[in-house]
Amino acid sequence: MGSPKVYKNLINGQWVESKSGKTYENLNPADQSDVVGVFQKSNADDVKDAIDAASDAYKKWRLFPAPKRGEIIYRIAARLEAEKEELSQEMTREMGKIIAETRGDTQEAIDMTYYMAGEGRRLFGQTTPSEMPNKFNMTVRQPLGVCSFITPWNFPMAIPSWKSMPALICGNTIVIKPATETPLSVVNFARVCLEEGLPPGVLNVVTGSGAALGEPLMNNPAVKIVSFTGSTEVGRKISEACATNFKHCCLEMGGKNIQIVMDDANLELAVDGALWGSFGTTGQRCTATSRIICQKGIYKKFVEALAKRAESLKIGNGLDESVQMGPCVNKGQLETVLSYVEIGKNEGAKLITGGDHLTGGDYDKGFFVQPTIFGDVTQKMRIWKEEIFGPVVGVGMFDTLDQAIEMANDTIYGLSASIFTQDVNNAYTAMRDVYTGIFYVNAPTIGAETHMPFGGTKETGNGHREASMAALDVFSEWKSIYVDFSGALQRPQID
């Protein structure tokens, strides 16, 4: 093997080295001998250059007609589609999730990009009658300016696209700082944008650590909005930093998502849903199922069936098409998972299956852990309350739907929840009373579609939604315009 490829920052349409002169290696979590690439360890000067470039580019981009912006964005979508397989393979190498899932991640970026390309010919505002004669009222969306994006590693291309495409179509310019673990997918995304005609400076990428780059990305006065997806802990810091200057701030953070299984549920379907929701993406989804509660009559059958299925999952390098679960993203995440297995055991939960670090043979090359199921989980336990972000799910029990809803809401988070039931009354009651941003009936807690609002309540978010039309509200501000053609002074509420 030759020396690994060196990837640079994208600033003002140029691929440039960091002014720090430093780089870091990005290694495959399934095989630490595989160097995915060498990336820039950027510093505050690089961030400043990127923000300056974005500020400059904003002057023209905001005035470039939105349908024309949409045409560029449409070409980007087509190009992502053409490169889907290659982009997905590279994403599996840097993030670890199985190839079927990284194809899904890339597809999500494609869907979002096509969707927002179409918005170029809409971006509808309202016209409404004035309360005065000979006066016309309308609303238009105006862009904000420069946006800073700080993104996580679990959806390396989908999440950056959720933020970028609505921002771009509204006329904003961008600086993205991808997660340290997954810079390549954002570099690839940016390369496609540049090659398909996005003007220099409209989208800039600076790679490196969040701790080093967070402050300059947030505090530069030219930045009008910070959009962050990641942990609640970091999100809180960002929220506090933005509050001082009233900077807009859109936060998508942690989850502790629940699947409710009623006695009348289709058992096989509920098990399918739990398996996919809990162990898909190695449990490293913000919407991952990490709590399951079963009604008393179905609990035993459900737990047995789920354990059997979990034990049969093939774990390994996600580039192998037959593998069903990949590694944890890094050593730290693996250690977190193993520490929660110990916590669960010590607080009295029953380890039904899994819990071990997988070692020997190819497993020694990466960060593999067994899919893990705890039974007899109660609301006092830390494994009930805390986000683990790995393939660990706790199963508890309830008597009545009211109790299930109370248990579902017993969390500081509010991202996703689901119910498996054949009874329409149960489904509608839970739909109404479980306080989350996303709710599924007879489907797992994961599986968002790009034209539906995405985000959560309580400590998962700060009231905004990504994706869908709702994303346009994050990346534009309404301007209300009154045109008086009466030729006289008219005073609302007075004349």
Residues forming the active site: 252, 286
Please say which residue, 58 or 153, places its beta carbon nearer to ligand NAD.
Answer: 153
The smaller minimum CB distance to ligand NAD, of residues 241 and 269, is found at: 241
Q: From the CB of residue 139, how many other CB atoms can be counted at a distance below 10 Å?
A: 14
Residues that contact ligand NAD, how many (by CB under 6 A): 28
Distance CA 281, CA 464 (A): 25
Euclidean distance between the first and the last CA atom of the chain, given in angstroms as a whole number: 81
Q: Residue 175 Cβ, how far from ligand NAD at the closest point, in Å?
A: 12
Q: Which residue is nearest to ligand NAD (CB)?
A: 210
Question: How far apart are CB 177 and ligand NAD at their closest, in Å?
Answer: 6
Stretch near ligand NAD under the rule CB under 6 A, chosen from 41-49, 226-234, 266-274, 367-375: 226-234
Q: Which of 389, 398, 420, 475 binds ligand NAD (CB under 6 A)?
A: 389
Options 180, 281, 353, 426; binder of ligand NAD; rule CB under 6 A = 180
148-177: contacts with ligand NAD (CB under 6 A): 150-155, 177
Q: Does 231 bind ligand NAD (CB under 6 A)?
A: yes
Any idea which residue has 């979002």 for tokens? 112
Determine if 387 is a binding residue for ligand NAD (CB under 6 A).
yes
Which listed residue (77, 147, 286, 323) binds ligand NAD by CB under 6 A?
286
Stretch that binds ligand NAD, among 114-122, 227-235, 310-318, 336-344 (CB under 6 A): 227-235
User: What is the x/- site pattern for ligand NAD, positions 397-436, by CB under 6 A?
Assistant: ------------------x---------------------
Query: Length of the chain in residues, anyone?
Result: 495
CA 61 → CA 70, 143, 149, 219, distances in Å? 12, 10, 18, 23
CA distance 12 to 200: 5
Q: Is 5 exposed, middle or buried (0-12, 13-18, 19+ CB in 10 A)?
A: exposed
| Matching residue, tokens 């579609």 | 449
User: What distance lies between CA 186 and its chain's CA centroid?
Assistant: 13
For ligand NAD, which stretch binds (CB under 6 A), given 111-119, 204-212, 242-250, 261-269?
204-212
Q: What are phi and psi of 302, to 5 degrees?
A: -65, -50
Nearest Cα neighbor of 383 from 419, 437, 339, 415 is: 339
One-letter amino acid at 262 equals: M
Between CA 14 and CA 105 the distance in angstroms is 27
Phi, psi of 179 (to 5 degrees): -60, 145
Decide: is 460 part of the binding site for ligand NAD (CB under 6 A): yes
Interface residue list for ligand NAD (CB under 6 A): 150-155, 177, 179-180, 209-211, 214, 229-231, 234, 237, 252-255, 286, 387, 389, 415, 456, 460
